[in-house]
Structure 1
Amino acid sequence: MTDPVNRVVLAYSGGLDTSVILKWLQQTYNCEVVTFTADLGQGEELEPARAKAEMMGVKPEHIFIDDLREEFVGDYVFPMMRANALYEGLYLLGTSIARPLIAKRQIEIARMVEADAVSHGATGKGNDQVRFELGYYALAPDIKVIAPWREWDLTSRTALIAYAEQHQIPVPKDKRGEAPFSTDANLLHTSSEGLVLEDPWAEVPGYVFSRTVDPEDAPDRPQVIEIEFEHGDPIAIDGLSMTPATLLAALNELGRTHGIGRLDLVENRFVGMKSRGMYETPGGTILHAAHRAIEQLTLDRGAAHLKDELMPRYAELIYNGFWFSPEREMLQAAIDLSQKKVNGMVRLKLYKGGVHVIGRQSPDSLYSEKVVTFEDDAGAYDQRDAAGFIKLQALRLRLLGRRDQ
């Protein structure tokens, strides 16, 4: 170790891994540890993390448990949803979009407490190490980053538990055995991967699912809901205005009930390997379908098609951890400009795992029933104009055809 570390801010959950990391940092670097626990709507009780950190010698004033749910949805999830972002055409980026917010708040706390380092519990095989650290360096270029999984020799769960017992770190009984899979959760989604999920031919066991009922067991009658949008963001469900986090939580409950949002995916990690995961994104899946539906009415063809061309690049930037990059901000500016007139209402039918758009309306609609009708359009569209249009479009094809005959 070259530079001494006096104080480090640790992204801390209170679980086995980060509790071991806390003690390891204290011992290895002989430094003061500040813990930061983010409430992103993961549905877990977070106060026990405070008690555990205090028990391990962290000063009460150096234990941060921050409710970031509204900021998470309003400033991260919704901007991503405006882009209709899907990584590799399917993944709604639930884990990816949470990391830049955690990194940002961690750096803010590091500045507040005058820490000279930050630390995380991501392993050296995954994407999260990249996402956290790109965020750290973008916001604090000279910060020292400590990634214990890349430094220590605790390479198994057995070694972690032995270390915890050696240093009187409580290990719950249900954490002593090898977990059948690992999870990450927030208000947008729950992801599960590893062990029982590693064989991509094997069906995901039912016990893996935590956010959605089995679509086969969902209600036998569909439920119809209406989502209102303003400038591309949802603002109300069935006429009831809600804050961003409250609205997403409400959509999650609807999605849970109807078994919506399950995704079994083999994806390409940024670090180079393929991995298989099961994602549950109930509210996000509903919101994605609704947003695309309101854009169908309100976006010009050129803008809509350009957005669809930009989306894969935008999604890849988020997946790879480049939220704070200039190119993501440039794309966001273009996307947000396209949303000025994305206003109106979408009606959806939720039924046994499916989200079905059954209606949409907007005060800023570009759809003209008078122009598109198969009935008499009273001169709104002169069909004879199409002949010249087609001939101009066909000109190069005709020239090619004459040459090649």
Structure 2
Amino acid sequence: WTEPPSDAFTLTVDPWKAPDGVEYIEITFEEGIPVALNGEEMDGVSLIAKLNQIAGKYGVGRIDMIEDRLVGFKSREVYECPAPVVLLQAKKALEKMTLSKDVIAAKADLELKYAELAYVGYWFSPLREALDAFFNQVQKVVNGVVRVRLYKGQSVVVGLKSPNSLYAKDLATYSAGDAFDHSSAVGFINIWGLPVVTWKQVHDPKNGGCESEVTLSKETVKSQV
């Protein structure tokens, strides 16, 4: 119920005291690793230190949360991590542009396990090493530049460009110029929805809510075959 006091933070200013204007930054990623800030190449430590200063000036990166501890009880934790918050947000946006849907879904599950291994002290476990192989493979195509807008406690991704982008404008303009044949959607919808339609016909209370029995004649079976 008690709000963290301002003097609890050293890397970030109160958002309401942040500059009134916006600031745009650009982060360059190579195989998922941030390698440059605003076009200037940096090693990881230098980049994080510099981004901490820039994002912290705008009050970005404060986290106030209830955490589940390893031993079973909950605790309130207050963090400030300006650079990691911006970097993770930018990287996830770039991944949405460069990774396939199924890889993104699998990564979402495995990255939670990866974080858990680090949290509980299992960094040197064989599972963590095995997960490294997956992530290293996935990140090979996460290349590009992300533009982020900073303003009073918020960081917003406003621009993306990548040589590995899977986004094709002509497939999803929702206009007459679409390369995608919208008439193909009718057959797809019918087939995709068939399991749900069948389930509803069998179990819908309006249809009696019981299993239906279907009897086919020999002639019908032959014609179906």
Instruction: Determine the C-alpha separation between the residues in 1 that align with 2:151 and 2:161.
Output: 22
Aligned with residue 266 of structure 1, among 66, 71, 74 = 66
Letter of the 1:240 partner, please give it.
E
* Overall identity of the aligned pairs, in %: 43
Aligned to 1:389: 188
Letter of the 1:206 partner, please give it.
S
Aligned to 1:313: 113
**1:42-98 residue CA offsets vs partner (Å, 9 max, x unmatched):** xxxxxxxxxxxxxxxxxxxxxxxxxxxxxxxxxxxxxxxxxxxxxxxxxxxxxxxxx
Aligned to 1:252: 52
Letter of the 2:162 partner, please give it.
S
Aligned with residue 323 of structure 1, among 95, 101, 123 = 123
Aligned with residue 157 of structure 2, among 337, 341, 357 = 357
1:132-143 counterparts in 2 under 5 A? none
1:49-60 counterparts in 2 under 5 A? none
Aligned with residue 171 of structure 2, among 338, 355, 371 = 371
Instruction: Determine the C-alpha separation between the residues in 2 that align with 1:342 and 1:290.
Output: 11
Aligned to 2:31: 231
TM superposition shift of 1:265: 1.4
1:2-401 counterparts in 2 under 5 A? 201-377=1-177, 380-401=179-200
Structure 1 runs of 4+ aligned residues shifted over 3 Å read none
- The alignment's C-alpha RMSD in Å is 1.2
**1:120-164 residue CA offsets vs partner (Å, 9 max, x unmatched):** xxxxxxxxxxxxxxxxxxxxxxxxxxxxxxxxxxxxxxxxxxxxx
DSSP-derived class of the 1:253 partner: helix
TM superposition shift of 1:271: 1.7
Letter of the 1:215 partner, please give it.
P
DSSP-derived class of the 1:358 partner: strand
TM superposition shift of 1:332: 2.1
Aligned length: 204
- Which protein, 1 or 2, shows the higher relative CO under an 8 Å CA cutoff with sep ≥ 6? 2
Instruction: Determine the C-alpha separation between the residues in 1 that align with 2:25 and 2:9.
Output: 24
Instruction: Determine the C-alpha separation between the residues in 2 that align with 1:367 and 1:302.
Output: 15
**1:15-36 residue CA offsets vs partner (Å, 9 max, x unmatched):** xxxxxxxxxxxxxxxxxxxxxx
**1:353-392 residue CA offsets vs partner (Å, 9 max, x unmatched):** 10011110101100000111122336x2111211121112
DSSP-derived class of the 1:339 partner: helix
Aligned to 2:211: none
TM superposition shift of 1:314: 1.8
DSSP-derived class of the 2:2 partner: coil
DSSP-derived class of the 2:140 partner: coil
Instruction: Determine the C-alpha separation between the residues in 2 that align with 1:244 and 1:257.
Output: 20
Instruction: Determine the C-alpha separation between the residues in 2 that align with 1:273 and 1:403.
Output: 46
Letter of the 2:185 partner, please give it.
A
DSSP-derived class of the 2:63 partner: strand
TM superposition shift of 1:331: 1.7
Instruction: Determine the C-alpha separation between the residues in 2 that align with 1:396 and 1:202.
Output: 51
Pairing 1:403–2:202 present: yes
| TM-score of the superposed pair, with normalisation by structure 2 | 0.87
Instruction: Determine the C-alpha separation between the residues in 2 that align with 1:402 and 1:275.
Output: 49
* Unmatched runs of 5 consecutive residues or more in structure 2: 208-225
Letter of the 2:197 partner, please give it.
R
Instruction: Determine the C-alpha separation between the residues in 1 that align with 2:32 and 2:98.
Output: 10
Instruction: Determine the C-alpha separation between the residues in 2 that align with 1:355 and 1:256.
Output: 11
